[in-house]
Amino acid sequence: MSATTLIRFILPFCLMLTFCSDKQPDAQQLVDQAIATHGGGKYNRGVISFRLRDKQYRALRDGGAYVYSRTFQDSTGQRVHDVLRNSGFTRTINGTEVTLPQERKDAFSASVNSVIYFALLPYFLNDAAVQKEYIGEASIKEEPYYKVKVTFAKAGGGTDFEDVYIYWFHQQRHTMDYLAYSFKEDGGGTRFREAVNPRIVGGIRFQNYNNYTIKEQLPLEQYDKAFEAGKLEKVSEIKLEDVVVSKLPE
């Protein structure tokens, strides 16, 4: 075989390899891998309970049906029990259901849902309203990550559909180790969360978070660099305690 013929034979394969190496990761695949790593189908049916600060939370899921609740004592010592389910929200105080204006129901519903949402991430990243976009790679603490941007469609995106999230998924372990988000409610702001103390309970990966913010205006996509440079300010720690995972009866 002549040198010219050999080049003609090899060149297409070289071009194909180059093309394949330049192909960027698929955001949907990255999310699917992370969900599988963190618990997969175990999120779909069961009961998860945990304590966050002074409140007890419980999330029952059975396919598309859900019942989320939180229980705590208010400043006067009364026992408050909030329940959010597919059909709506109810609050009882000392065992008696109370009537609330719709505005308060919406606020309490969002509060309960937000805690459950963050506790079970990345599970909810395949909800119908979620819009995912791969936006590049990053290195944090000398570990390789893929970055995925998440926005929400107005239809089905809830009251916080304008919020924007960035997730950092480890390239080999497929774990969700960092996230950043911007929010509009309560005057708006941003946060960057670093996952700490990961542990497996009932086949599901649970994580605590160090919660950071920054005073200067900075695109969410650059929060990884700001974190590496020590520019973020730690504002709180989010600790899920006494985590229990139970199966539903067949």
- pLDDT of 8 above 70: no
**Six-digit token string for 139:** 């290195």
% pLDDT > 70, the chain:
87
Residues 71-107 pLDDT 10s = 999 999 999 999 999 999 999 999 999 999 999 999 9
C-alpha pair distances (Å), 146 with each of 20, 208, 240: 17, 21, 26
Whether the Cβ atoms of residue 116 and residue 96 lie closer than 8 Å to each other:
no
DSSP string over 70-103 = EEEE-TTS-EEEEEEETTEEEEEETTEE----HH
Task: Give the distance, in angstroms, between the CA of residue 164 and the centroid of all CA atoms in the same chain.
Answer: 12
- pLDDT of 17 above 70: no
- Rg of the chain (C-alpha set): 22
> For residue 215, what pLDDT is reported?
87
Residues 189-202 pLDDT 10s = 899 999 999 999 99
> For residue 53, what pLDDT is reported?
94
- pLDDT of 18 above 70: no
Element (H, E) at 201: strand 189-201
**Six-digit token string for 93:** 């105080």
Q: Whats the size of the chain, residue-wise?
A: 250
Whether the Cβ atoms of residue 78 and residue 96 lie closer than 8 Å to each other:
no
Residue for token pair 């996230």: 179
Q: What are residue 193's DSSP bridge partners?
A: 179, 211
Residues 222-233 pLDDT 10s = 999 999 999 999
Pairing of strands 164-170, 88-93: unpaired
> For residue 158, what pLDDT is reported?
57
Whether the Cβ atoms of residue 169 and residue 183 lie closer than 8 Å to each other:
no
Task: Give the distance, in angstroms, between the CA of residue 233 and the centroid of all CA atoms in the same chain.
Answer: 21
Domains of the chain: 30-246 (2.50.20)
Residue for token pair 């259901």: 97
- pLDDT of 186 above 70: no
> For residue 11, what pLDDT is reported?
41
**Six-digit token string for 115:** 């805690």
CA dihedral sign, ordered 206, 240, 31, 222: negative
Of the two residues 119 and 19, the one the predictor is more confident about is: 119
- pLDDT of 156 above 80: no
Confidence of residue 188 (pLDDT cuts 50, 70, 90): confident
Confidence of residue 154 (pLDDT cuts 50, 70, 90): confident
> For residue 13, what pLDDT is reported?
45
> For residue 5, what pLDDT is reported?
45
Residues 118-138 pLDDT 10s = 999 999 999 999 999 999 999
Which residues lie below 8 Å from residue 152, measured CB to CB, with a gap of 6+? 129, 130, 131, 158, 160, 161, 162, 163
Whether the Cβ atoms of residue 109 and residue 115 lie closer than 8 Å to each other:
no
Residues 161-181 pLDDT 10s = 678 999 999 999 999 999 999
**Six-digit token string for 37:** 């790593």
> For residue 22, what pLDDT is reported?
64
Element (H, E) at 133: strand 130-140
